[in-house]
Amino acid sequence: MSSTDLNGMYLIQQVSDMTGLSKQVIRKWEERYHLVQPKRLENGYRIYSEVDINFLLNVKTLSGQGHTVKRAVEITKARNIVGDAIPEPSHSLQHPAILNDYVFRLLEKGAHCDELEIHLVLQQAYHAYGLADFLTSVIVPFLNEVGNKWHRNEWNEYQEAVSSLVTRDFLVQIRRNYQFRENASLIVGACLPYELHEIPLHILLLQLMQKGFKTMLVGAYPAPGSIESLVEKLKPAKVLLSATTTTPFDKDPDLLKRLDQFAVDNKHIDFYLGGTGALDYTMNKTLRAIHVTNSIEDVLR
C-alpha cells in the first residue's frame, strides 16, 4: 500500500524510511512520551499524518543537538511547530523545516533508490506548485534532508547520489525548456574548479530566469581557466561563482586571487561568489571586484 492509497497518511515503515528512525524508536516515542497519536486501520496498523512526521523529525533534530528526548519532546510541543495546518507553499521554510507530502514521498523513494518514482514525484510536485514554490517548498527541503541523512550516516553513498542526481537532471530539464526573450541579459553560473555540487546553482539560475534573465551553467568540476575563457567569449552581464566547500581554494590557493584580478580586468561584468565554502573562506579576506553573497537580491541589484 502506498502513501497515495492512504490519502496523505503513512504506514510506520514509510515513516521510518522518511525520518531515518527505526520502527521501534517511533513506537517508543509514541508510547513513552505521547509525541504522536497515530490513527489505526481496521487491521490495527498505525497510520501517521504529515503533522506526526514533522513532530518526529523535529524531536530527532533537537535530540541530535544535545537535548534529551524528553526535553526535545517538550520543546516541540511548546513550539507547536505545525499545529493543525501545513503552511502554504509560498511560506519560507527554516530548519527544522515543516515538510509536505511531496518531500515525504521523495524521501521514501530516495531511501529505496527508486529513480523512476523520484522523477514522477518531482514531476507531480512541479505541476502542483509551479516553479517558484516548487523550488522553495519541495526541492530545497528535500535536498536539505538528503544532506542531513548523508552527514548522519543514515543514507549510504548510493542513496544520496541517486536522490541528488535525479533532482539535478529534473532541474536541468526545466532549465532547457524555459522560455526567455532573445534580448534578455545573460548570466553565467559556474562551479569553481574542484567543486562538485552544482545543484545550488541550478536553483539560483532558475530563480533568475523567472526574473527575465537568460542563463548558462558551467557544471561541476570545470577545468582551470575554462570559466575565464567562457566569460571572455560570451560577455555576460553577470557571473555567479559557487563553492559549497573550501576544496577549490584548498586545492588551488591562488584561485581566488586570479579570479578577483579577472573581475578587475572586466569591470563591465558583475561578479558574485556564493556558497557555504566560499563564505567561510572569504570571511576575513578583502576582494577588489568580486561580491561575496548568498543573496539573490544582491545579484538582482
Q: Give the mean pLDDT of 84-111.
A: 66
- SS3 category, 252: coil
Phi/psi for 36 (5° steps) reads: -130, 160
Give the model's confidence band at 82: pLDDT under 50 very low, under 70 low, under 90 confident, else very high: very low
Pairing of strands 10-11, 46-48: antiparallel
Contact 175, 168 (CB under 8 A): no
β-pairing, 238-242 vs 270-274, is parallel
Tell me the pLDDT tens digit for each residue of 166-196.
999 999 999 999 998 889 999 999 999 999 8
Computed over its alpha carbons, how large is the radius of gyration of the chain?
A: 22
What pLDDT is stored for residue 9 in this prediction? Answer: 87
pLDDT band for 77, please (50, 70, 90 cuts). confident
Report residue 274: phi and psi, to 5°: -140, 180
The one-letter amino acid code at 91 reads H
**Residue % of the chain over a pLDDT of 90:** 66
Q: Can you give the pLDDT at residue 89?
A: 38
The full set of domains in the chain, from first to last, is 1-85 (1.10.1660.10), 86-177 (1.10.1240.10), 182-300 (3.40.50.280)
Average pLDDT over residues 246-251: 96
**Predicted TM-score (pTM) of this structure:** 0.80
Cell of 29: 516515542
